[in-house]
Structure 1
């Protein structure tokens, strides 16, 4: 079994590709960081995006994938599979967006790639967004989804997510463990948001280099998601929760992402607690860089995911 499959730290390429550098430069001139730099602009953007709703599925993906939307126990879910191929596993994918924004085009691209590269059907819940949806209401709904899917197939699905969705996947796995319910087969956490309060001192070391994320707006969104729960509750900020007994876990984050310090700390704590965890850091990678599927670093990250899922199947 290779190092990548044993649950150890993985070193990505030491220098970013030209494509990575170009995308970072492009992101730096978008409005995203400026919007997330203040509570007022974050709230205005939330209202705009809520009015638009989830991004439409790109036509190019409908040529190769079957994509449907249906209800599963009260949760509206998209299901993505490769046309003409029988899936071998199920991946539940929780989208990011700071808990306040819906699915964007890059989520569809990434979910389609995960389905194709892992012989999977991907089930993507459109979970209620904050402030209407909160950790206290959404996590229980996801527990029910896990029970339903495990009962349907007889095998627990993989749980994956990016950013807020990665934090939500981890919070759900911890609640499943605590309540003695079926655990995910594997956790795939892409730049997970592990502490909505962004209290790690390491955030300050990266924030000037992060081309998209801003602290003030994220903290505002995190408070909306927390609702009546404390910001440090494991349901809200699972990075501070007890990692013991978690399933095999793969964490992927870029070094220009303000979440990188929390990801490092979580991976170290989880490994010390006996969890099979691998952390991949993408050199100069921006927030959720695997979602930009044409990057060589994205392909590398997805190959790691496939290797880790295959290793979990053999365990």
Structure 2
């Protein structure tokens, strides 16, 4: 039987990463897990894709796709963040080491993420939540869009932090947002490295443009100061029109991916607690 992975666009040859990009990638250092959380962490492989696993129980499985503009980031940089969510939700977090652009342009990272999802969905007994931040949130939403058009078991939840969902980068918030962590120039550069000629209108590249009917319950978190407020609002509106349960949390005065950048801030603690509640809610839908 054909899989979701088989139905995705074909892979394409990319271009080498610049020395500057390689240097920036090296800045995504591993974060330390608080031993008091009682989680275990290690490396594993799902569907041939190397992954980092952070486990504190089996109440749910969270497929978490890291951010970094599709061209940076690493699972190890998310050790601490994933551990807090795993511990609170008594869940297992799986962070794929998906292939990065520009060496591996669209849809290489998506193909990796979908392959991991298909294996997790076929083996997990409890709820499966797809999650991510920034470009990883876009990738997570694209995974759900791809799966929703198939006979594969759909996820039980979608959880997004500072989601980058429209690679046209045309939202007016790029011009007005006071947060400079993800400005328009950075977004356009990352987009070009990722797409390399593929159309931004492809709903698997810009999942804000996908058909959101049949999506699972969704939690969207976005900082009030960031350029991606428009993407978050757009998805929330589309989900509402599709009669999908959606919670949108706009956190005033915070910027892009604030729980990762300022993990000890009260707003960051509250955001993680909200994620934990979302996962623990155990929302289930009938699977096809």
The corresponding residue for 1:71 is 45
The corresponding residue for 2:268 is 298
Question: Is the CA contact (8 Å cut-off) linking 2:122 and 2:153 kept in structure 1?
Answer: no
2:195 is equivalent to residue 226 of structure 1 = yes
1:178-231 Cα deviation digits (max 9, x unpaired): 12322111000000111123111232121xx11312211221111221234201
Q: TM-score, normalised by structure 2?
A: 0.85
Pick the aligned partner of 1:307 from 274, 277, 281. 277
**For the residues of structure 2 that align with 1:92 and 1:146, how far apart are their CA atoms?**
7
**For the residues of structure 1 that align with 2:93 and 2:38, how far apart are their CA atoms?**
14
User: Deviating runs (4+, > 6 A) in structure 1?
Assistant: none
Check 1:248–1:301 CA distance in 2 against 1; reply closer, same or farther (3 A cut). Answer: same
More deviation, 195-204/163-172: 195-204
The number of aligned residues is 268
**For the residues of structure 1 that align with 2:36 and 2:280, how far apart are their CA atoms?**
27
**For the residues of structure 1 that align with 2:36 and 2:191, how far apart are their CA atoms?**
34
Question: Is the CA contact (8 Å cut-off) linking 1:223 and 1:231 kept in structure 2?
Answer: no
The corresponding residue for 2:225 is 256
**For the residues of structure 2 that align with 1:117 and 1:156, how far apart are their CA atoms?**
15
Check 1:202–1:89 CA distance in 2 against 1; reply closer, same or farther (3 A cut). Answer: same
2:80 is equivalent to residue 134 of structure 1 = no
Superposed, which structure 2 residues align to 1:80-99 within 5 Å?
80-82=54-56, 86-99=57-70
**For the residues of structure 2 that align with 1:201 and 1:240, how far apart are their CA atoms?**
17
Question: Is the CA contact (8 Å cut-off) linking 1:225 and 1:236 kept in structure 2?
Answer: no
Check 1:99–1:275 CA distance in 2 against 1; reply closer, same or farther (3 A cut). Answer: same
Question: Is the CA contact (8 Å cut-off) linking 1:248 and 1:312 kept in structure 2?
Answer: no
The corresponding residue for 1:27 is none
Per the TM alignment, residue 44 of structure 1 is displaced from its structure 2 partner at its CA by: 4.9
SS at match of 1:309: helix
Check 1:179–1:63 CA distance in 2 against 1; reply closer, same or farther (3 A cut). Answer: closer
The corresponding residue for 1:46 is 21
More deviation, 166-175/181-190: 181-190
2:202 is equivalent to residue 241 of structure 1 = no
CA RMSD in angstroms comes to 2.3
SS at match of 1:116: helix
**For the residues of structure 2 that align with 1:303 and 1:270, how far apart are their CA atoms?**
23
| Consecutive unaligned residues in structure 2, runs of 5 or more | 1-16
**For the residues of structure 2 that align with 1:216 and 1:44, how far apart are their CA atoms?**
19
Superposed, which structure 2 residues align to 1:1-315 within 5 Å?
44-50=19-25, 52=26, 55-58=29-32, 60-61=34-35, 64-82=38-56, 86-103=57-74, 107-206=78-177, 209-291=178-260, 292-313=262-283
| Consecutive unaligned residues in structure 1, runs of 5 or more | 1-41
Question: Is the CA contact (8 Å cut-off) linking 1:290 and 1:297 kept in structure 2?
Answer: yes
Per the TM alignment, residue 255 of structure 1 is displaced from its structure 2 partner at its CA by: 0.7
SS at match of 2:281: helix
Larger RCO: 1 or 2 (CA < 8 Å, sep 6+): 1
Q: TM-score, normalised by structure 1?
A: 0.78
